[in-house]
Structure 1
Amino acid sequence: MPTHYQAASDPGPFARRFGISFQPQSSLVQPGQQGHFVRRPRADASSKAQLERFEVAPGRWGLIPLFSKDGQEQDTFEAQSETAAAERNFYQPWKRGHRCVILADALFQRGEEPGSVVRVSRSDGEPLALAGLWNGWRAPNGDCVESFALLTFCLPERPEQRRSAILRDAWVDDWLHCPVEETAAYLRPYADDKLVREILPR
């Protein structure tokens, strides 16, 4: 399960993968903090924005469901891909196709040893494309607050362990534009030989 991630710091992948001009800032993003995600433009966006295939949006890591009264829900940082379509906190973004991609230079997960942390990155130096769900919530004062959650899946050989869903480069466009019923097809293990897992000293 992720503890935090290092946001992508190079504008190149945003331009190459999504055709977006965006200058990211390198930062460690913790649950509950602000990050950025890539999505299809919102349906209520301007006509100019809707002509684009992708946009970058700021949002809180920790999805705020539509029914929230105060936007302070806990335990919505991750959505289990096996149950998100029926889970109260996540089923509305899932059925609406509110999928997103979070570009991260590294993901920090809890290790198998108590208190240990594992840094996960791509062996080719490119950022990880983490699969997520996003939502827009209307606050009591009328503001629209956007937020997101990372999608996870369990390992078939070790069902007690969960991993964040990392998208292959060839899947990113399809993940963001596919029909809702095809969503689960992209939430599969990333090739281990293309990842670097480093156990960090305590």
Structure 2
Amino acid sequence: MPTHYQAASDPGHFARRFGISFRPQPSMVVQPGEQGHFVRRPRADASSQVQLERFEVAPGRWGLIPLFSKDGQDPETFEARSETAAAERNFYQPWKRGHRCVILADALFQHGEEPGSAVRVSRSDGEPLALAGLWNGWRAPNGDCVESFALLTFGMPERPERRRAAMLRDAWIDDWLHCPVEETAAYLRPYADDKLVREIVPR
């Protein structure tokens, strides 16, 4: 599972890819359980049901809160296994509702092979990673709507104990966010290793 990620800090990435005016915090590091931002299809206005824009940025906690949660503190919801999310209790509602999102990250950090080390993953062209995720809106006991998200991952046949975050190719981002639910899995494929840079860094 990813240990943390460095959120994309250049407003230009949001403007060029999504036509969104958004100024992220510089060098923002997000760890499981902390607040980040994700891009999604806009929620339709309750009165008009009209969506004026194709994308919006929303704040949310990394760690998806299921609809049935009593206190919003559910463990082990930071990642959703792409192979089983459609049937898992924690994730099947966002999956079937098409609550897909994209998390832009300058780098993703994962556990390294050696104790006390981590692997920093970034794109070789300097562009941000487009991480595939699911989001959810949970109604807290006090009536507040709390939004959250999980990163989608896939298994590595040669290393069953390891998983990788699902990264979207640039040309797939729009389709990923707007495709029918039955086409969701088609976009969850391994990203080309020759387009990524993996560096071992101290944790």
SS at match of 1:89: coil
- Whether the 8 Å CA contact 2:63–2:76 is kept in 1: the answer is yes
Residues 2 and 110, structure 2, Cα contact 8 Å, conserved in 1? yes
Q: 1:46 to 1:37 in 2, by over 3 A?
A: farther
Contact 1:6/1:26 (8 A) holds in 2? no
Question: For the residues of structure 1 that align with 2:46 and 2:197, how far apart are their CA atoms?
Answer: 39
Task: Determine helix, strand or coil for the equivalent of 1:49.
Answer: coil
Q: How far apart are the structure 1 equivalents of 2:62 and 2:183?
A: 25
Measured after TM superposition, the shift of residue 45 of structure 1 is 5.6
Inter-partner Cα distance in structure 2 for 1:40 and 1:98: 8
Q: Which runs of 5+ in 1 are unaligned?
A: none
TM-score, structure 1 as length reference: 0.96
Deviation readout 1:51-89 (Å, 9 max, x if unpaired): 100000000000000000110101100000001000000
Q: Distance in 1 between matches of 2:9 and 2:47?
A: 28
SS of structure 2 residue aligned to 1:12: helix
Q: Deviations over 1:99-141 (max 9, x none)?
A: 0000000000001223320000001110000000000000000
User: Counterpart in 1 of 2:180?
Assistant: 179
Quick one: structure 1 residues 193 and 46, their matched pair in 2 at CA, closer, same or farther if it must change by over 3 Å?
farther
Asked if 2 retains the 8 angstrom alpha-carbon contact of 1:106 and 1:128, the reply is yes
TM-score of the superposed pair, with normalisation by structure 2: 0.95
User: What is the CA-CA distance between 1:27 and the residue it aligns to?
Assistant: 4.0
Deviations 1:1-43 (A, max 9, x none): 2000000000111011101010111344010000000000013
Q: Is the 8 A contact 1:40 1:53 kept in 2?
A: yes
Given that residues 41 and 49 in structure 1 are in contact (C-alpha distance below 8 angstroms), is that contact kept between their aligned partners in structure 2?
A: no
Shift of 1:195: 0.5
CA–CA distance in 1 between the matches of 2:117 and 2:86? 32
CA separation in 2, counterparts of 1:129 and 1:45?
29
CA distance, structure 2, for counterparts of residue 89 and residue 18 of structure 1:
29
CA distance in 1, matches of 2:46, 2:121: 35
Cα distance change on mapping 1:16 and 1:88 into 2, 3 Å: same
Q: Distance in 1 between matches of 2:22 and 2:187?
A: 26
Q: Tell whether the 8 Å contact from 2:116 to 2:202 is kept in structure 1 after alignment.
A: no
Report the alpha carbon displacement of residue 158 of structure 1 after superposing the two structures with TM.
Answer: 2.4
Which residue of structure 1 aligns with residue 131 of structure 2? 130
Seen in structure 2, the aligned counterparts of structure 1 residues 45 and 106 have a Cα distance that, compared at 3 Å, is farther
1:44 Cα offset (Å): 4.0
Task: Give the unaligned 5+ runs of structure 2.
Answer: none
SS at match of 1:42: coil
Over the matched positions of the two proteins, sequence identity in percent amounts to 90
- State the number of aligned residues: 202
| Secondary structure in structure 2 of the residue aligned to 1:43 | coil
